[in-house]
Structure 1
Amino acid sequence: MHLSARARGIQPSVTITIDTRAKELKAAGEQVINLSAGEPDFPTPRHVREAAIAAIEAGFTRYTPAAGIAELRRAIAEKHRRDNGVEYAEDEIVVSSGGKHALFNAFMAVCDPGDEVIIPAPYWVSYPEMVRLAGGAPVIVQTGPETGFKLTPEALRRALTPRSRALILNSPSNPTGTVYTREELDALAAVAAEAGLWMVTDELYEHLIYEGEHVSIAALRPEYRERVILINGVSKAYAMTGWRIGWAAAPRPVAKAMAAIQSQATSSVNSIAQKAAVAALTGPQDDVVAMREEYRRRRDLLVEGLSRLPGIEVLRPAGAFYVYPSVRGLLGRQIGGRRAGDDVALAEILLEAARIAVVPGTAFGTPGYLRLSYATSRTDLEEALRRLERLLGGA
């Protein structure tokens, strides 16, 4: 059976694969602690759910414009003006089926075959694959703990070639929780703008910051705004992962191209979820604040617990809901009756021997690390730490 080169070359999402395996074990009665998925464990806020119910009762169940209903695009434009200090018109916003879909549309809109997209590592697992699907070539630039896992202007300059088309930046970062400062973003944007790059800024975790501030590059200088494709959504901040609402805000020609691509691929986004997203963006934000403070407590619990374990080195993340410790001190050792030859093997050992699901750093372009999500209860985090202590104590 013939499959296209595109289909043969694409890799499935490692995080989804591990999350699926963890859920299978749970369904079989195993006491699995799932620290693999980036999914809030909180319920969607009540006023958001009520808005969806009202939309159903009102019969708001038809197709909508491909780029999203005007009410939601106005709410998104107001959100960016209020929270980020950057102005967008309604027709510069395209609502998509989650932030991942918005990113995919962006790469499809700006990449020609062979165009290079610069991606700092560690990176979210889907960035390189989406670039490849769009015909582009991912150019991976390694970062490390010595820079707080941040791309520097010097490293960006070294990665530039005549084929460079775009740069993707994710702050707060998945998987590291890194938050770039205003000055750092300005310095990177200056290099990118001079090189004529599109700057694709993934800002899904903007409301989950514990130290520092969130800054949108598009708000820094007018010339940057014209080179930025800003990606955001309601999944993380409002515990709305399954509602599948994300968006892109971009200069009008890019937004128009993305809307046209979407119109031929998926057409409009779920009508009811759009009404729910309006309520999330325009309604009370108390739940967002409460969730953020609970994440902060979980972060501190996990960081402090991991820092006491042998062979693990961990930086305190400033945002998102992940911890990304180095586990190089464990590799090559016998753990749980098996040799942990690399981070992939170690993740398998943790799942099979301790029933803890994590994602190996290899999936994010940086072998020797693990990503642990603290979007789960403190009770689960405490139990995970106890299991790790027992397992590693007997290594």
Structure 2
Amino acid sequence: LDPDAVGAALAGARAGHVFLSTPHNPSGFRTSTADLRSLARHASAAGGYLISNEIYEEFVEPSRAVRAATLVENGISIGSLTKAYGLSGLRLGWVVLGERAAAEREAFEDAVFLQLVDLPTVSLRAGRLAFERREALIAPYGRILAESKPVFERWVAREKRLRIHVPPDGLIAFAEVPGVADTLALARHLAATEQLAVVPGEHFGAPGHVRLGFGSPPERLADALERLSRGLESYTLAPHGRPARLDPAPPVA
């Protein structure tokens, strides 16, 4: 991430907002505090906001977490109950406005009201209960991550068919697959032969990569990684001029 390049792109813009996700999806890496401040300055110079998707920041230790809304006055932070809290079915999230954005709160509320349909009352009540029980909901993910990340790191050290930089925080990594340009075909092969799901880089505009998650319990993760290594080997050896047939059975990881 080059904040100055972002600033150059915003030069002359009528209103230049900066959108980013941190930790980043799919790489899992976080934007530094210094870069967030720099991006916010560039956005402010263009009359805009720094809008930060911080859904994966919930996996970061609270004492180290950084929120754009409290870091800079033109920051806006977006969060959700879908990831660390495991409550994707509720379809609930939140927006926190920094000091400058808070002055325009009514305009933001009007925009949200016009864009979204009111959620069921039961979902809103469940979301409120989730916030009241936040620590209890998020604790299992912390334990799983502490146990599973070393399993993933040991596998990364052994698996030479991928190039992976494991991020310091979170539970996703973006792996380069040298020699494989069509990672959508690879993903189909893994699903068909190993009952394994990975997200191909084509979905992120980065073919030749796959997104991996390592937030499963260690035993399940170890099995999934063994399947991945086996699938990479069979894909390398097999002719794959056309995508593998998808198996209808659900993937295991």
Q: What is the TM-score normalised by the length of structure 2? A: 0.80
1:158 is displaced (CA, Å) by 3.4
Query: What are the superposed Cα offsets for residues 323-354 of structure 1, whole Å, 9 maximum, x if unpaired?
Result: 21111x241xxxxxxxxx42222222222222
Aligned pair partner of 2:34 in 157, 177, 183 = 183
Distance 1:284 1:203 in 2: 16
Aligned residue in 2 for 1:295: 145
Aligned residue in 2 for 1:37: none
Aligned residue in 1 for 2:156: 306
Distance 2:134 2:108 in 1: 31
Matched, 1:196 2:47: yes
Aligned residue for 1:285, secondary structure, equals: helix
CA contact (8 A) 1:202 1:231 kept: yes
CA contact (8 A) 1:202 1:232 kept: yes
Aligned residue in 1 for 2:92: 245
Q: What is the TM-score normalised by the length of structure 1? A: 0.53
1:236 is displaced (CA, Å) by 1.7
1:210 is displaced (CA, Å) by 6.0
Aligned residue in 1 for 2:206: 366
Aligned pair partner of 2:16 in 156, 165, 185 = 165
Aligned residue in 1 for 2:239: none
The 5-angstrom pairing of residues 11-160 of structure 1 reads 151-160=1-10
Q: How many aligned residue pairs are there?
A: 231
CA contact (8 A) 1:210 1:296 kept: no
- Matched to 2:198, the amino acid is V
1:375 is displaced (CA, Å) by 3.5
Q: 1:211 and 1:287, CA in 2 relative to 1: closer, same or farther beyond 3 A? A: closer
Structure with greater contact order relative to length (CA < 8 Å, sep ≥ 6): 1
Aligned residue in 1 for 2:117: 267
Distance 1:292 1:261 in 2: 36
Aligned residue in 2 for 1:385: 225
CA contact (8 A) 1:182 1:215 kept: yes
Distance 1:356 1:171 in 2: 27
Aligned residue for 1:165, secondary structure, equals: coil
- Matched to 2:216, the amino acid is T
Distance 2:104 2:205 in 1: 29
Query: Post-superposition, which runs of at least 4 consecutive aligned residues in structure 1 deviate over 6 A?
Result: none
Aligned residue for 2:94, secondary structure, equals: strand
CA contact (8 A) 2:189 2:231 kept: no
CA contact (8 A) 2:7 2:39 kept: no
